[in-house]
Amino acid sequence: MKSKKLSEVIIKTFKNNGFVLSEPDVLLDSDYIIERSGEKFRSSMLTFDREDGKTMCLRPDLTVASCINFLQKKTSSKIYYSGQAYRRSAGKGTSFINDQLGIEILGSKNLIKDDFKVISTILSSAKKIKMKKIKIKVSDIGLFKSLIDALEMPERWKLRLIRHFWRPSYFEELLKRLEKNTDIDAVTFDTDKKRFYEMKKLDQDKVIAGRSVLEILKRFEKKIKDPRSFEDGKKIVKIIKTFLKINCKLSKLDDELLNFAKKNNLKKKYI
């Protein structure tokens, strides 16, 4: 009962700030979820096969489901959602049913303004429910991308770190490899290079694994030109880990980021 009353107070704050209820479908196309949100959802989804062979699932996350709803129906972009999501959890004895409450501004044309609106609405909600210990975790992938872009390292490493940021275990493994400068081995690289020159003789419009030969060649040519040796991995990893540990009051976040950038001599475009 207490949690229900808290939800009602929070939802009222959402409405007062102009957010409209989103009611995404409970049943979703599994392939569409994986295509849009990545393989990480596959193991947690509760799925079943329809008579026509299509695999469906119960919505594993209301954020994802609301985004799909927006893409398909172009509904209101300033939304809140409140309801149940259904997914497996790694913890033993945990329920498949997860209550979820949140807000989104989708298709934003002014990210700074809308980010401020989301955070200020959350802060207003926190004040209404009068809880003393509340932490707000700012997980802006844009900030992380800006950091990586500002660091001096091979392009291939930048792409890897950004692409796999949401895979904690693999991301940690990448940091370990970067720290020790452990890239792909020379034998593998030489084999791929030999294949590269063989493919240059093929029809450039031929499609292999969903990409044309020309696209594959352009991608690998960029890898060939990218330097294989990299000596500052340990320093770069230390900067990344320090960045991910930033913990401060929301009102001091700007100053904290500026000091971090100056201390680590980051490019101006990060600041």
Q: What residue segments make up the domains of the chain, in order of their start?
A: 2-129, 141-263
Q: Which of 9-18, 22-31, 124-133, 231-240 has the lowest mean pLDDT?
A: 124-133
Tokens 């959350």 sit on residue? 122
Between residues 125 and 192, the one the model is more confident about: 125
Q: Which residue's entry shows tokens 């093929």?
A: 202
pTM, full prediction: 0.59
C-alpha closest to that of 26 among 66, 53, 54, 55:
66
Query: What DSSP letter does each residue of 117-177 carry, written as one string?
Result: HHHHHHHHHHHHHT-S--------HHHHHHHHHHS-S-HHHHHHHHHTTT-HHHHHHHHHH
The residue whose two tokens read 């700074």 is: 112
225 Cα distance to chain centroid: 29
Q: For all residues of the chain together, what is the average pLDDT?
A: 81
CA distance 136 to 68: 25
Phi, psi angle pair for 263, to nearest 5°: -60, -35
φ and ψ of 59, to 5 deg: -55, 120
What pLDDT is recorded for position 12? Answer: 93
For 246-268, write each residue's pLDDT tens digit. 888 777 888 888 899 889 888 65
Q: What is the distance between the alpha carbons of residues 233 and 177, in angstroms, rounded to a whole number?
A: 8
For residue 267, the model assigns a pLDDT of: 66
Neighbouring-strand partners of residue 79: 20, 104
| Helix-helix angle 213-225:186-199, to 10 degrees | 140
Question: Which pLDDT belongs to residue 247?
Answer: 85
Specify the pLDDT at position 77.
Answer: 85
Name the CA dihedral angle for 250, 253, 254, 258, rounded to a multiple of 10 degrees. Answer: 170
CA-to-CA separations, 29 to 53, 68, 81, 269, in angstroms, rounded: 11, 10, 20, 40
pLDDT of residue 67: 86
Cα–Cα distances (Å) from 179 to 10, 176, 183, 232, 239, in that order, read 44, 5, 10, 8, 11
Instruction: Provide the token pair at 151.
Output: 């660091």
Statement: 2-129 belongs to CATH 3.30.930.10: yes
Asked whether residue 134 carries a pLDDT value surpassing 80, the answer given is: no
Tens digit of pLDDT for each residue in 212-247?
A: 878 887 777 766 655 545 568 889 999 999 999 988
CA-wise closest residue to 270 among 133, 102, 158: 158
| pLDDT tens string 31-69 | 877 776 666 667 788 888 888 888 898 998 898 888 888
Evaluate if residue 93 carries a pLDDT over 70.
no
